[in-house]
Structure 1
Amino acid sequence: MKRGIAVLASVSALLVVGYFTATKWAIRHEMLTFYDPARDNRQVAVEIAVRRDKEMQADAGMITLPVAILNHGNTVKFTEYSFLANMFAARGYLAISIQHDLPTDPPMVTKPGELYVGRLPQIQRGIDNIHFAVSEMKKVAPNADYDYLTMVGHSMGGDIAMYFAKQYPEQTKKVVTLDNLRVPFVTNGRFKILSFRSKDPVFKTDPGVIPPEEVREKSGIEVVQTGFQHNDMRDTGPDEAKASIQGMLNKFLEDDSPPRPIETKAPPEMTDPGPVTPYVPGAPTPKMGKRLGSAPSATVTAQQ
C-alpha cells in the first residue's frame, strides 16, 4: 500500500513538472524599473511573468488577469523565484516579482526582543514598494485585477506578504508563504493561507508565528511540513523541493471556495508574536543584472 502511494506521488510530481515545462515556452518575462518620486526617486525593479495567450485575451478586453505579488527573502534577488512565477503565469496569473532591497540601503540592524526582531522598517519599506509597483503596473498592464492580490513570499518576503495581508485584508485574495519566520499568521479567516515550512537547523520560526492546529482549521490556514531546508525554497534549491512546492501550490490555487467564517465574538487578527529570536543571515546571492532597453514611459526602464 505504501509503495503504491509513493508511486502515485511520484507520478503526480512528474505530471506537474511536465505541465509547467510544456507551458514555460508560452510565458513572457519582462523586467521593468520604476522610480518613486515620493521617496527621492527610489528605484523599484519588477519582473513580470505572464502567459502570452492570456495576455492577448486581457489586452482584447476578454478577461481580467488575476495578480500574484512575489516577495523575495533577505539577501535574495527578486529574480530567484522563477519556479513560482512560472507556475502562477501558467495558471493565467500576472506574476509580479518586486526587488525590495537596494545596495544603497542601510544595513539591517536586527534587535532581538523587539517586534519582528526589529525588522518592521524593512517590512514597511516592502509594503511601500508593493503599493508603488502596483500603481505603476496599472499603467503598464491595466487589464488585471489589482484590487484582490495573491500575496506570496519566501522568508523575509513571506513576512512582508503576511504583514500586507494584516494591514490590507480587503485587498488580499490569498496568502502563500515559504518559511516566513517573524510575522504571525493572520487568523481572522478572511482569506486562505498556505505556508510551506522547512526542517532547518539554523532558520527557526519565532514562537507565536504559527497558530495552533485548532485555530488553523477555523481560519483556513494550511501548513505543510516539507522536510526541506530554508534555502531550498528558491530557484537554487533541488528540483525535488521545487516540484513538490509547485504541486501543492497548484492544488491550493485550484480551490476557489471562500474560507469558512469564524464563529467568535471577536475574531483574532493575529496570534501573539511572543518572544523573538536573533536573525540568522542567509547565503549571499548574485547581483542584479543590467537593465536593457527603455520603456515608453519616462518613469519606466524596460528589460525584455
Structure 2
Amino acid sequence: MRLRLLLFSVLGFWATGCAPYSAETKWKENPGTVEAPVAVHTQALDLVDASRNRAVPVVLYSGRFSQKSAKTKQKLAVLNHGYGGKNTAYSFIANYLVSQGYLVASIQHELPSDAPMPLTGPVYETRLPHWQRGVQNIRFVVQELERRTPDLNKGELLLVGHSNGGDMTMLFAQEYPDQVREVISLDNRRVPLPRTRQPRILTLRSSDQPADIGVLPTAVEQEKFGIRVIQLKNTLHNDLWDGATANQKQQIIQYIAQFLRTN
C-alpha cells in the first residue's frame, strides 16, 4: 500500500502546552465493548460532479442493525482516506458505524489522472488546493446522498478522516461548521482543529508522527471546547487503517464508540 511508503518531507513539532488529555484520567482505558453489525452490504457508486467534470468514486456501506428501530432515520458518515490510500481501506470503521445506524460513504479522493500532492515547499500553501478539492468532494457526496436518500437525518453528519483525509475533514469543519455534527481525525497533521464546540471533535494521535505547530489545541483549549485529543501509545501513523492489528482496531473503535456516546 502506498500509504506505508509515503515519506513526509517536512515534520512539525508539538506546540507548547498542546499535551493531549490522558486516556487514563479523562476517559476509561477500556471504554467498553462494541457491537458488530448483523450484516454489512457494500455498493460501489461511480458518481460524477458535473459542476467540476470530476469523477468521485464512492463505496457505500449499509446494513441491518439490531439496536436501532427500522423507523429511525439513518445518519450519514463520510470516510476520507490517507494520501496514497484507497477508500476500501477503512472497512473496520465503516462496519462499526453501520452497526450504530450510519449509512457510510467512503470517498476515493485521488484519481490516477491527478497530479501528485507536493511534498516540498510550504506545506500548508502547496497542499491547500488538494484539501479544498477534498472538501468539494465531501460536499458533493453529502448532497448527492441526501438527494438519493431523502430519509437521511441531515442533522447527524459525521466525518472521519485519516492523515491527509483528516486534514480535509478539519478544513470542511472550519468552512461548514453548521453542516457537520461530529468530526473524527485519525492523526491529521497539517490543518488546525477548529477551536469550537460545534462540531464536536475527536482526534486520535499516533505514537510516531507529530502534528505541525498550532494544529492541536492546548490543554486549556481542549477543556474549554470539549475537544478530545487521545494519544495512542502503541499505534503508528501508518497503522490507522485495515492493516492495523486486532488490538489496535479494538482500541480505535472503543474510543470512537465512547466519543459518539458522549453528548
Q: Post-superposition shift, 1:117?
A: 5.2
Counterpart Cα distance in 2 of 1:87 and 1:105: 31
Q: Within 5 Å, which residues of 2 pair with 1:100-179? A: 100-114=109-123, 116=124, 118-179=126-187
Q: CA-to-partner distance for each residue in 1:123-160, whole Å, 9 max, x for gaps?
A: 01111111111222123322112344111100001111
Q: If the length of structure 2 is used for normalisation, what is the TM-score?
A: 0.83
Give the letter aligned to residue 57 of structure 2: A
Aligned residue in 1 for 2:64? 52
Any unmatched runs of 5+ in structure 1?
1-7, 258-304
CA contact (8 A) 1:198 1:230 kept: yes
Instruction: Pick one of 79, 99, 113 that aligns with 1:90.
Output: 99
Aligned residue in 2 for 1:188? 196
Q: Post-superposition shift, 1:53?
A: 5.2
Instruction: Pick one of 196, 208, 218 that aligns with 2:214.
Output: 208
Count of aligned pairs: 234
Counterpart Cα distance in 1 of 2:210 and 2:258: 27
Residue 223 (str. 1) matches residue 232 (str. 2): no
Aligned residue in 2 for 1:73? 82
The structure whose Rg is larger is 1
Residue 43 (str. 1) matches residue 55 (str. 2): yes
Counterpart Cα distance in 2 of 1:91 and 1:127: 25
Counterpart Cα distance in 2 of 1:240 and 1:52: 26
Q: CA-to-partner distance for each residue in 1:81-115, whole Å, 9 max, x for gaps?
A: 0011111110111111111110000111234335x
Amino-acid identity (%): 39
Counterpart Cα distance in 2 of 1:242 and 1:117: 33
Q: CA-to-partner distance for each residue in 1:192-251, whole Å, 9 max, x for gaps?
A: 211100011xx3311111111011111110111002100111001111111100011101
CA contact (8 A) 1:191 1:220 kept: no
Q: CA-to-partner distance for each residue in 1:266-288, whole Å, 9 max, x for gaps?
A: xxxxxxxxxxxxxxxxxxxxxxx
